[in-house]
Structure 1
Amino acid sequence: MPYDVIIIGGSYAGLSAALPLGRARRRVLVVDAGQRRNRFAAASHGFLGQDGAAPGQIVATARDQLARYATVEMLQGAAIAVAGDEQGFVVQTTGGPVAGARLILASGVTDNLPEVPGLAERWGRHVFHCPYCHGYELNQGPIGVLATGPMSLHHAQMLPDWGATTLFLNGAFEPDAAQLAELDRRGVVVERTPVAGFFSEGADIRLADGRTVPLAGVFTLAQTRITGPLAAELGVDIEDGPLGQCIQVDAMQQTSVAGVFACGDVARLAGSVPLAVASGAMAGVAAHRSLIFTA
């Protein structure tokens, strides 16, 4: 028997989408490849009731709670192809084909990090993207912003609330006079010397001229791409933003393709755990209602 809803992705958004569907006693399959975007971080912050919890523990608790609902199933594996329309979808997974009346895409995005020596090894520990998630724990120490493009200006303007901030342009862009004035207004120091890399155990940056800048943490904006092939195969509308791709959805997380919903980081240009959970809950409710109310 086909599932009512197949959810691609078993992280925060996907599991959140499964909950209202399970409570509605609908047959749900969550296909999870096990690659949470924040798997590199030791703690997750900003999610009410779970502030400071380990990311894996949040997911484990959610899975335990979903296990109470007999109609919710988990499939460990990747979704590799899809075919169908609102009349029904067939998803090819590494565990075999599965069929469902509705799809929720919650596969997330993959971060393409700046190619700076030592950065990848520090991602999620000393180098971050979200000030609200990691800024407080730097205890107002010195903060670096490693520019990847013009959007880094906004990043640098935000971060002085968490600590004295230096913007490392690293050849990514050159602020104009008005932008420099805004940075000065926020007390941001602009460093034009190229970055050679990270060479200490922590976040300290070494510049091409040999100077080392001590830092409590560094923030940067990675380019993102949609994880997995399903969005492209389904032909959903995709927005190309300055930081990468995301699936376009309406207020109910409905994509441009009937019967297909999307939630979490794959469906918004800025990601966090609480926002992913909220959009997942909406996608689950919307998918359920679409099974009841037909046009």
Structure 2
Amino acid sequence: MNEYDVVVVGGGAAGLNGALMLARSRRSVVVVDAGRPRNAPADGVHGLLAREGTPPAELLARGREEVLGYGGEILSGEVADVVRDGERFVVTLTDGRALSGRQLLVTTGLVDELPDIPGLREQWGRHVVHCPYCHGWEVRDRAIGVLATGPMSVHQAQLFRQLSDDVTVFSHTTPPTAEQAEELAARGIRVVAGTVAGVETDSDRITGVRMADGTVVARDTVAVASRMVARAGFLGGLGLRPVPHPSGMGEHLPADPTGRTEVPGVWVAGNVTDLSAQVGPSAAAGANAGAQINADLIAEEVRTAVAAYRDPFSARSEARVAELVLGDRRHGL
């Protein structure tokens, strides 16, 4: 079993930036990445200063190189289970490999659950979008249809109205309230009542939204608020499970502002805890969590060193000091 100070589960912006902070602090750290980034369908990352428009795969490749350059490790694989073994966490992968870490940073992101409407998933990330800050500029001035599926749909429509004067809300499963209908009308946003049956496409582009009665409303972009659910099933053995987010947008893993969860030694960062975070905030949260983890490890090492200093012949102290010395040797100290 490979032993590390920290095992990072998830190799997106949050996980890589957390690993970068830890590796630069001379911690032994490994990033386990399943290779299924949420933003893979997107052409570029937006709203990220000095990296505007960078293809997601290129951004991650740069991040991996930086982590490796400071002695961190990147491991391709998917985590099946995590259990506590004494003072360490044992992380088991789906292929049977096992890793051990003193602390665990979970940055596995989330899954977008879309309504079961033909055409949505196939166009997801291109002509079917969800975030005006991620995709808005790219669909400006287009004929945008907003599919109302939850509590954030009207707000979503108002955000896209900033980008186009041709916005239509399809009430579908969540008709607007009287107050919302007035607000939409005041901004020139049309509301189409009824259930949506599908999205019409032609040559890999959207041409319209088809209603249950057969009517087709011409649109070339569809916005829909997905239900976002944290990827965290492997933490069930530790008693950590996703819970409903206060916004009603999905399920997340709660944590304090540093990323610390209710389970000592387990930290989270990025979309797994903050459903609406873009790449920049996710990376910042990962860096913050990495720094806090390092501080916790230092506090533990100080306590152990003091105990050994006071009782140098303690078997427990000797064993722990040997472990710390081994960790130092990994980094050439």
- TM score, norm. by length of structure 1: 0.94
CA contact (8 A) 2:148 2:224 kept: yes
Query: Counterpart of 1:139?
Result: 140
Aligned-residue offset at 1:95: 5.2
1:168 aligns with 2:180: no
CA distance in 1, matches of 2:257, 2:65: 29
Q: Residue in 2 aligned with 1:249?
A: 255
Post-superposition offset of 1:248: 0.6
Match of 2:312 in 1: none
Distance in 1 of aligned mates of 2:187 and 2:31? 45
Q: Please, which moves more after superposition, 237-246 or 116-125?
A: 237-246
Secondary structure of 1:141's match? coil
Summarize the Cα distance change of 1:139–1:175 in structure 2 as closer, same or farther, 3 Å threshold. closer
Query: In the alignment, which residue of structure 2 is the partner of 1:188?
Result: 189
Give the conservation status (yes or no) of the 8 Å contact 1:237–1:248. Answer: no
The letter for the 2-side match of 1:260 is: V
Secondary structure of the 1:199 match is strand
Aligned to 1:235: 239
User: Does the C-alpha gap of structure 1 residues 79 and 237 become closer, same or farther in structure 2, counting only changes over 3 Å?
Assistant: closer
Q: Tell me, what secondary structure is at the counterpart of 2:143?
A: strand
Distance 1:86 1:29 in 2: 20
Q: Which residue of 1 aligns with 2:275?
A: 269
CA distance in structure 1 between the aligned counterparts of 2:241 and 2:34, rounded to whole angstroms: 24
Query: What code does the residue aligned with 2:260 have?
Result: Q
Percent of pairs with identical residues: 39
Q: Distance in 1 between matches of 2:86 and 2:228?
A: 29
3-state SS of 1:150 partner: coil
Specify the alignment match of 1:74 in structure 2.
Answer: 74
Does the Cα contact within 8 Å between 2:230 and 2:273 map onto a contact in 1? no
Displacement of 1:179 in angstroms is 1.5
After TM superposition, the structure 1 = structure 2 runs for residues 109-120 of structure 1, keeping only pairs within 5 Å, are: 109-120=110-121
Pick which of 155-164 and 199-208 moved more: 199-208
Contact 1:237 1:256 in 2 (8 A): no
Aligned residues: 293
Contact 1:86 1:102 in 2 (8 A): no
Aligned match of 1:226: 230
**Amino acid across the alignment from 2:284:** A
Contact 1:224–1:244 (Cα < 8 Å) also in 2? yes
In the alignment, which residue of structure 1 is the partner of 2:264?
Answer: 258
* Shift in Å, 1:237: 6.3
Q: Kindly tell me: are residues 229 and 79 of structure 1, through their superposed partners in 2, closer, same or farther at Cα, counting changes over 3 Å?
A: same
Is the contact between residue 14 and residue 282 of structure 2 (CA under 8 Å) also seen in structure 1?
yes
Larger gyration radius, structure 1 or structure 2 = 2
1:227 Cα deviation after fit: 1.6
Structure whose residues are more often helix by fraction? 2
Opposite residue 70 of structure 2, the aligned amino acid is: Y
- Deviations along 1:122-180, one digit per CA (max 9) or x if unpaired, are 0001011111010101132121111112221221122100112111111x122221121
The answer on 1:158 being equivalent to 2:159 is yes
Residue deviations 1:275-294 (CA, integer Å, cap 9, x gap): 21111111111111110124
Partner-residue secondary structure (3-state), 1:133 = helix
SS in 1 for 2:183: helix
- 1:216 shift after superposition: 3.6
CA contact (8 A) 2:82 2:235 kept: no
**Which residue of structure 2 lines up, in the alignment, with residue 123 of structure 1?**
124
Match among 278, 283, 291 for residue 289 of structure 2: 283
Structure richer in strand, relative to its length: 1
Q: Separation in 2 of the partners of 1:270 and 1:235?
A: 24
Q: Distance in 2 between matches of 1:89 and 1:281?
A: 21
RMSD over equivalenced CA pairs, Å = 1.7
Superimposed CA distance per residue, residues 64-120 of structure 1 (whole angstroms, 9 cap, x where no aligned partner): 2222112x0111000101111782111001351110000001111111111111111
Residue 22 of structure 1 corresponds to which residue in structure 2?
23
Contact 2:255 2:273 in 1 (8 A): yes
After the TM superposition, list the runs of 4 or more consecutive aligned residues in structure 1 that deviate by more than 6 angstroms. none
* Counterpart residue number, 1:148: 149
Give the deviation of 1:221 after TM superposition.
Answer: 1.1
- Superposed CA deviations along residues 10-53 of structure 1, whole A, max 9, x for unmatched, are 11111111111011010001000001011111222111111111
CA separation of 1:279 and 1:86: change in aligned 2, threshold 3 A: farther
Amino acid of the residue matched to residue 209 of structure 1?
D
SS at match of 2:16: helix
Q: How far apart are the structure 2 equivalents of 1:262 and 1:15?
A: 13
Contact 1:86 1:258 (8 Å CA) reproduced: no
